[in-house]
Amino acid sequence: MPELPEVETVMRGLAGRLEGRVIRSADLRRADLRWPVPAGFAVRLTGARVENFRRRGKYILMRLSGGDSVVLHLGMSGRINMIPAPVANAVGLGGAPLPVLHEHLVLVSEEGVRIGFVDPRRFGSLDLVPTENEDTHRLLAGLGPEPLEAEFDAKHLSAALAGRRTPIKAALLDQGIVAGLGNIYVCEALFRAGISPRRLAASVAGARAERLVPAIRQTLTEAIAAGGSSLRDYVQPSGELGYFQHAWKVYGRPGEACERCPGGAACQGIDRIVQSGRSTFFCARTQR
DNA sequence: ATACGCCCCTGGTGGC
DNA sequence: TGCCACCAGGGGCGTA
């Protein structure tokens, strides 16, 4: 599921409820995620105060008093369930909370806010790293620049793509080139930039990179403003749906006319192809 | 160094 | 109704 806009939305939701709060209990129910969750994980969280959050690419970092940062990745199917503190003396129908399938970590704050990390496919991960060394964590060390920061510009992108003989689609999915893009937003950004996903990455350096950088920025910024895209299982921590999926211009819309092809005979509609095993959606007429 | 399959895992959907 | 193939927002790893 989650690409940069969804991860950002999840992080903001967590920050709103947890920042400055103390974790009363941490219950790790499964440790066999993408990688084994380290021994003692839950103990290190229990009693710690949540200082603040940071997002790096698709990773959420939760900084704790005591010097640890939790490194959370949502994988393909990860999400956060957040239940506000129960009203005093409230009696639920039937009492006991419904068991949540695939809920691997449950945190309860001192105020009684309940945070659940749910991840059916278990491609997500949980780890700890000293806050002062966050960026040296093995999963973060190789990440490219943040696409919404100033450091990400056409000059940097051109340099990163130089000599790359792989399709631009694959290059943009490479988190070492730029951090946070996934299958949906790469398709959308390439459409906006008018660049074919099949074009060799090296040939995007230059004028096309000048178009691609703002296209990526705009796509991500608009998606964050919409609360991300809700597909299948993605919801904001509050349970609200993101609505950016309604703004997709090519992703998931094979056969439809693209908005830049007003019904002309030259337009064959939005194409779906497979690149490195994953679906790519694009307009063959307007993306070159 | 780069690039491409394969694999990890569960669940939903659509065809027969 | 049942079964099965295929698809899904990620990404590390082994191999060529």
In sequence order, the β-bridge partners of residue A60 are A55, A72
CA of A120 to C1' of B5 (A): 25
Sequence spans of domains, chain A: 4-136, 154-282
Structure tokens at A11: 């992080």
Nearest nucleotide to A79, CA against C1' atoms: C9
A268 touches strand B (CB under 7 A): no
- Residue A3: active-site member: yes
pLDDT at A230: 77
pTM: 0.95
Distance of CA A102 to CAs A55, A108, A116, Å? 24, 17, 10
- Residue A155: active-site member: no
Element (H, E) at A220: helix A207-225
pLDDT at A98: 64
Distance of alpha carbon A203 from its chain centroid, rounded? 27
Which CATH number among 3.10.270.10, 3.40.920.10, 1.20.1730.10, 3.20.190.10 corresponds to the domain A4-136?
3.20.190.10
Quote the CA–CA distance of A155 and A84 in Å, as a whole number: 45
- Residue A278: active-site member: yes
CA of A121 to C1' of C1 (A): 27
A30 touches strand B (CB under 7 A): no
CB A170 within 8 A of CB A275: yes
In sequence order, the β-bridge partners of residue A115 are A82, A107
CA of A45 to C1' of C4 (A): 44
Residue with tokens 């103390």, as numbered in its chain = A22
Structure tokens at A175: 């988190």
pLDDT at A195: 97
pLDDT at A267: 75
CA of A182 to C1' of C10 (A): 8
Structure tokens at A63: 């900084």
pLDDT at A173: 97
Nearest nucleotide to A251, CA against C1' atoms: C9
- Angle, CA A99 vertex, CA A98 and CA A103 arms, to 5°: 135
Structure tokens at A133: 């060394």
pLDDT at A263: 65
Helix, strand, coil percentages in chain A from 3-state DSSP, rounded to 5? 25, 20, 50
* pLDDT profile of chain A (288 residues), mean per 10: 92 94 97 96 98 98 98 95 73 59 96 94 97 96 96 96 95 97 97 97 94 98 92 62 91 92 75 93 95
Write the single-letter amino acid at A137.
H
User: Which residues, including other chains, have CB under 8 Å from residue A154's CB and lie 6 or more apart?
Assistant: A209, A210, A212, A213
pLDDT at A19: 97
User: Which residues, including other chains, have CB under 8 Å from residue A64's CB and lie 6 or more apart?
Assistant: A23, A44, A45, A48, A49, A50, A51, A70, A131
Quote the CA–CA distance of A182 and A173 in Å, as a whole number: 6
Distance of alpha carbon A65 from its chain centroid, rounded? 25
- Which of residues 235 to 264 on A have a Cβ less than 7 angstroms from any strand B atom? none
pLDDT at A190: 97
CB A23 within 8 A of CB A50: yes
CATH number of A154-282: 1.10.8.50
pLDDT at A7: 95
